[in-house]
Amino acid sequence: MAEEYPRKLRYGMIGGGAGSFIGDVHRKALQLTGRAELVCGCFGANVTNSLQMGRRLNVAVDRIYGDYRQMAAAEAGQPEKIDFVIIATPNHMHYEMVKTFLDLAFNVVCEKPLCFTWAEAQELQALATEKSVIVGVTYTYMGYLMVKEARRLVRMGDLGPINMVMAEYAQEWFAVSAVKNDGKAGRWRNVPAYGGPSNCVGDIGSHLEYLVSYLTGLEIDSLCANLRAVGQGAVLDTEAEILLKYKSGAGGIYWCSQVAVGSSNGLKIRIFGAKGSLEWEQENPEILKVNILGEPGRILKRGQKYLGEQTLAYCRLPAGHPEGFYEAFANIYFAYTEALFRRKEGVPPAAERDFPGIADGVRGVRFIEKCVESSRNGLWVKM
């Protein structure tokens, strides 16, 4: 991918300490873009943990913090303010952290879910608008090349009007952890005060909601959800079945589970239209299966010249050299940093910003809230 800008952006990070998962993925993804460097951070809940990781990452010691509020205040006073800050901590901290940095007019990238309640999410959106900053929310899977190709085909009308969407996200980690009794099942995702009102829908069902919206543009009219706490020690949901009606009249079924024995990260999506259908799986992300009525089925492969020009613009490696999770994440950051660079250089924004923004984060929180409400009351609810 072209790297057209002469100077790198500078960013800070909250979370992403030793042994954590996603913070390190953010950093590696940004390295892949070649467009930003890490200059400050609060990598843990205390100064010792934060220093341990910050030093390892070559961050200047006077810009490693043990408290994110201290970091926000100090960084706001820097002569050259960072271009954006990443929030990659457990869910319960997102709202306060995002708010703190938005208040000081920092651009922010926050992990999903954006916060716990729709009211909080709307407040953050209003604040982002008031401060005129650019917010990203990292719904990872939109970054895969073959997802982008699928979107292009759907948007071009190759499948005809969409009738039905079948989306699933199956994992087994909760079941495995409960049996091994390794403590992971009891960590923050399964604790309401830290994970939020939902575990499974919040953690992985929310990816399905965003992905379907990105691929099809379908808007949810109403849903009926059945959330269940399955598995030893489950406090919040670890399994959910969700029926959906979209405003267009199409229907959908989402299934997400953390107790689906045998499944590692089984995100799979099938979209059925009047003229055709397609199918994509996260664990086999290099291919997209497409069926057009009356024609032989096709398997499209990443990197091949027959893909759309806008899809190929994200291509990093020649076909047959697999790209994966890091590249997908990097593609989100490519589009996000593009938006920041354009604003900085006074270039008009791209016709479409190809990364999940604050409106997507707000809708995602609404979706989680509505699933919980529907399940609790045993009713269809309006989105």
Ligand X SMILES: NC(=O)c1ccc[n+]([C@@H]2O[C@H](COP(=O)([O-])OP(=O)(O)OC[C@H]3O[C@@H](n4cnc5c(N)ncnc54)[C@H](O)[C@@H]3O)[C@@H](O)[C@H]2O)c1
Least distance (Å) between residue 340 CB and ligand X: 19
In the bound state with ligand X, the residue whose beta carbon lies nearer, of 23 and 273, is: 23
Distance of CA 81 to the CA centre of its chain: 26
Distance CA 364, CA 140 (A): 13
Least distance (Å) between residue 22 CB and ligand X: 4
Distance of CA 365 to the CA centre of its chain: 12
**Hey, what are 230's tokens?**
């399955």
The secondary structure of residue 205, as a DSSP letter, is I
Least distance (Å) between residue 186 CB and ligand X: 13
In the bound state with ligand X, the residue whose beta carbon lies nearer, of 91 and 311, is: 91
Least distance (Å) between residue 189 CB and ligand X: 8
Least distance (Å) between residue 103 CB and ligand X: 17
In 157-166, which positions are buried (b, 16+ CB within 10 angstroms) versus exposed (e)?
eebeebbebb
Q: Which helix (H) or strand (E) holds 223?
A: strand 220-228
Least distance (Å) between residue 329 CB and ligand X: 8
Q: Which helix (H) or strand (E) holds 345?
A: helix 325-345
- Evaluate the omega torsion of the peptide bond into residue 296 and state whether it is cis, within 30 degrees of 0: no
Q: Which helix (H) or strand (E) holds 287?
A: strand 287-292
Least distance (Å) between residue 49 CB and ligand X: 6
In 3D space, the residue among 383, 31, 21, 165 whose CA is nearest the CA of residue 11 turns out to be 31
In the bound state with ligand X, the residue whose beta carbon lies nearer, of 203 and 286, is: 203
DSSP reduced 3-state for 303: coil
Q: Which residues bind ligand X (CB under 6 A)?
A: 14-17, 20-23, 42, 44-45, 49, 68, 88-91, 93, 111-112, 138, 140, 203
In the bound state with ligand X, the residue whose beta carbon lies nearer, of 200 and 234, is: 200
Q: What are the backbone angles phi and psi of residue 122, rounded to the nearest 5°?
A: -65, -35
Least distance (Å) between residue 139 CB and ligand X: 7
In the bound state with ligand X, the residue whose beta carbon lies nearer, of 99 and 343, is: 99
Distance CA 242, CA 33 (A): 36
In 3D space, the residue among 132, 151, 90, 134 whose CA is nearest the CA of residue 115 turns out to be 90
**Hey, what are 114's tokens?**
């954006």
In the bound state with ligand X, the residue whose beta carbon lies nearer, of 18 and 261, is: 18
In the bound state with ligand X, the residue whose beta carbon lies nearer, of 82 and 153, is: 82
Distance CA 334, CA 136 (A): 12
In the bound state with ligand X, the residue whose beta carbon lies nearer, of 16 and 252, is: 16
